[in-house]
Amino acid sequence: MPLVWRLSPPFQHIIERLDTVPGVSVRTAQVIIAETGADMTRFPTAGHLASWAGMCPGNHESAGKHHSGATRKGNSWLRGALGEAAASAGRSKDTYLQARYRRIASRRGTKRAVVAVGHSILIATWHMITNNTDYHDLGAAYYLTRTDPVRHAQATHRPAQPTRLPSHPRPHPLRFIFDSVPSRAA
């Protein structure tokens, strides 16, 4: 019997609670507990845990402009386990994490989506262990229903604008250049 299985019975209730998060398996929950510990008081906020684990977004600012930055190195074992869990959550059906993965992957790519969903899983883990609560999934329709329904309807159901053609065609921008070139007489 592996050492992890022999040492996990005192943390069995936390492992079972973490197993309810989409994408997190028993093995991933054991890695989270093994790397962070069951006592989350060493991390004052969930952001501190994410920063320590290296699952927070990078921040690179130069000359007042914000550029994308690389994530920190962090804990490689925890990052790997959260990456696997995030990829698995991205393939789950009708969950908040799947909607978040799809939303980010379509705009920024799958690798950034994996880091973002892994960050969300880690933040949820911190809250579940600290507050002794169960995972509450927001649902796949979270991003569709979080705005005011009237504003959402106005934004998605705008009346079509009639296409207006100009009353006279615009001249070619180089027309005047061609007009000023003397023609060659043979």
User: Please, are residues 137 and 92 in contact by the beta-carbon 8 Å criterion?
Assistant: no
Per residue in 59-96, pLDDT (tens digit) is 777 888 877 777 778 888 988 999 999 999 999 999 99
CA gap 108, 184 in Å, rounded: 55
Per residue in 93-132, pLDDT (tens digit) is 999 999 999 999 998 899 999 999 999 999 999 999 999 9
Mean pLDDT over 6-32 rounds to 86
Q: Binning pLDDT at 50, 70 and 90, where does residue 139 land?
A: confident
Q: Identify the pLDDT of residue 127.
A: 92
Q: To the nearest whole number, what is the mean pLDDT of the chain?
A: 81
CA gap 54, 74 in Å, rounded: 4
The residue extents of the domains of the chain are 3-59+70-145
Q: Identify the DSSP state of 116.
A: H
DSSP-assigned beta bridge partners for residue 62: 65
3-state secondary structure of 60: strand
The three-point CA angle 120-129-28 to 5° equals 60
pTM of the predicted model as reported, rounded to 2 decimal places: 0.73
Which residue bears the tokens 């880091």? Answer: 115
Q: Binning pLDDT at 50, 70 and 90, where does residue 185 land?
A: low
Residue type, 143: Y
In the chain, the N- to C-terminal Cα span, in Å, equals 98
